[in-house]
Amino acid sequence: MPGTAVIGLQWGDEAKGKIVDILTAQQDVVVRYQGGANAGHTVVFNGQRYKLSLIPSGVFHPNVQCVIAGGVVCSPSALLAEIDTLVKLGVNVGKNLLISDRAHIIFPWHKIEDAMFDNIASGEAIGTTMRGIGPCYQDKYGRSLAVRFGDLYKPDFEEKIQTIAGAKNRLFNGLIGETDNSQMLPGIGIDIDAGAVFREYKGYADRLEKYVTDTTAYLLDAVDADKRILFEGAQGSLLDVDHGTFPYVTSSNSSAVGVCSGAGVPPHFIKKYVGIIKAYTTRVGGGPFPTELANDTGQCIRDRGKEYGTVTKRPRRCGWFDAVAARYTVRLGGIDTLAVMLLDVLSTFDELKICTAYTLDGSRVTAFPSHVDDLRRVEAIYETLPGWHEDITEVRQFSDLPLNAQNYLKRISGLIGKPIEMVSVGPGREQTIMLQF
């Protein structure tokens, strides 16, 4: 199987890291292709827990080439901190890591802009991770104020920083007092010191130079050589900037449609899309969430699932499984098989609910609404299934799961219309049920 992509089908945090880690053993190359240090995944390796944001978890496998591709927006300081942590732990980070010279760079002004503009027009805050992700993508598409890794090594780098910092200073100082969030800014008036930014980033550039290359050329050669390449999605499909719950989304194409543009590989190369879902639903940040449980049941899921953000530590909003949303993202991404994560978290309820349709203005709908105002108004229509109380964390065969758990999974698969290939019943690599279908 040359090209395989692992895609989150909900609002992120579907525990993709574990599936990526399992699949990585059979790969030559693992590619991170969108998002930035807003994502975070925890990998358990040699009994230790590692938190990674930018570096693919393939880094723990000595023969796997890791690639941070051009669609990623990268904070060099966050990346270097990850490299330093891994090296201290004895993990090799050398030629096995490549960073695209096309990847865009996050600067201090992007974080200021995240703070300034989060809720400027939308009422409810987007609730970004404040990592400067959106503003960096904004500059990428605006082009004039953007800096890519390749620019760090050109003679006009310092001049570029001077020009951009000057423009940002004028922009910010013109807007002080104009946005609800300007009190979050450090002091009255902003004076970004271009010289200091240049010196800081020149230091990062020197340390990262050995990793920076044309990863598109590398991946196209790998495609020609029929190498096995795994594409590791960050966030989830409902946070996709074009197809998600806009504006309560991230700024990249986090659904399956973003793989080829972010990585720089031909679409027909990817032969398998594995969609990752939790056995329930979570979301962090603002925006509508039709199956949200803002009650004790939601708190119980949060406690049992340890549903607190890897990056920001925020408590995640929790709710029942939403088959309308998942069916939409499965169809959007051409998903072939499913991995259902955190099933063990549900081993406590007498009854479980699955949302099978919505009511919108009195009508039953099964299509996922495109406008956030419509999504806000929908009411979930639920089907109730009997739950189970048995501990399933030691189960390794589907047939050994409690019958009600088997039926719950079969119903999810039936509603979404795709087979389940893996079921996770605990954080460990071995706590995974592999299914034949």
Annotated catalytic residues are 13, 41
The pair of structure tokens assigned to 56 is 């693919």
According to DSSP, the β-strands at 73-74 and 104-105 are parallel
Q: How far apart are CA 346 and CA 392, in angstroms?
A: 10
Cβ-closest position to ligand IMP: 285
Min dist. Cβ of residue 51 to ligand IMP (A): 12
- Of the pair 39, 293, the CB lying nearest ligand IMP is at 39
Q: How far apart are CA 78 and CA 69, in angstroms?
A: 16
Specify the amino acid at residue 287: G
Nearest to 4 by CA among 333, 345, 435, 391: 333
- Of the pair 245, 413, the CB lying nearest ligand IMP is at 245
Q: State the residues that interact with ligand IMP by CB under 6 A.
A: 11-13, 38-39, 126-129, 131, 133-134, 234-235, 239, 248, 250-251, 284-285
Min dist. Cβ of residue 225 to ligand IMP (A): 32
- Of the pair 132, 264, the CB lying nearest ligand IMP is at 132
SS3 51: strand
Buried b / exposed e along 194-224 (16+ C-beta atoms within 10 A): beebbebbeebbeebeebbbebbebbeebbe
- Of the pair 127, 386, the CB lying nearest ligand IMP is at 127
Backbone angles phi, psi at 296, to 5 degrees: -65, -35
The pair of structure tokens assigned to 229 is 């390449």
Min dist. Cβ of residue 65 to ligand IMP (A): 24
Q: How far apart are CA 113 and CA 169, in angstroms?
A: 11
For residue 319, the Cα-to-chain-centroid distance in whole angstroms is 19
Q: What share of the chain is helix, strand, coil (3-state, %, to 5)?
A: 35, 25, 40
- Of the pair 52, 212, the CB lying nearest ligand IMP is at 52
Count the residues in the chain. Answer: 437
Min dist. Cβ of residue 143 to ligand IMP (A): 20
- Of the pair 69, 433, the CB lying nearest ligand IMP is at 69
DSSP string, 191-247: ---HHHHHHHHHHHHHHHGGGEE-HHHHHHHHHHTT--EEEEEEEEGGG-TTTSSTT
- Of the pair 17, 357, the CB lying nearest ligand IMP is at 17
Q: How far apart are CA 160 and CA 218, in angstroms?
A: 28
Backbone angles phi, psi at 396, to 5 degrees: -125, -10
Min dist. Cβ of residue 159 to ligand IMP (A): 29
Min dist. Cβ of residue 282 to ligand IMP (A): 8
The pair of structure tokens assigned to 304 is 């049992």
Type and span of the H or E element at 134: helix 133-142
Give the Å distances, CA to CA, from 232 to 40, 216, 258, 306, 415. Answer: 12, 16, 11, 23, 26
- Of the pair 133, 352, the CB lying nearest ligand IMP is at 133
Nearest to 136 by CA among 145, 123, 124: 145
Residue with tokens 């003679």: 155
Min dist. Cβ of residue 314 to ligand IMP (A): 7
Min dist. Cβ of residue 41 to ligand IMP (A): 8
Q: How far apart are CA 155 and CA 157, in angstroms?
A: 6
SS3 166: helix
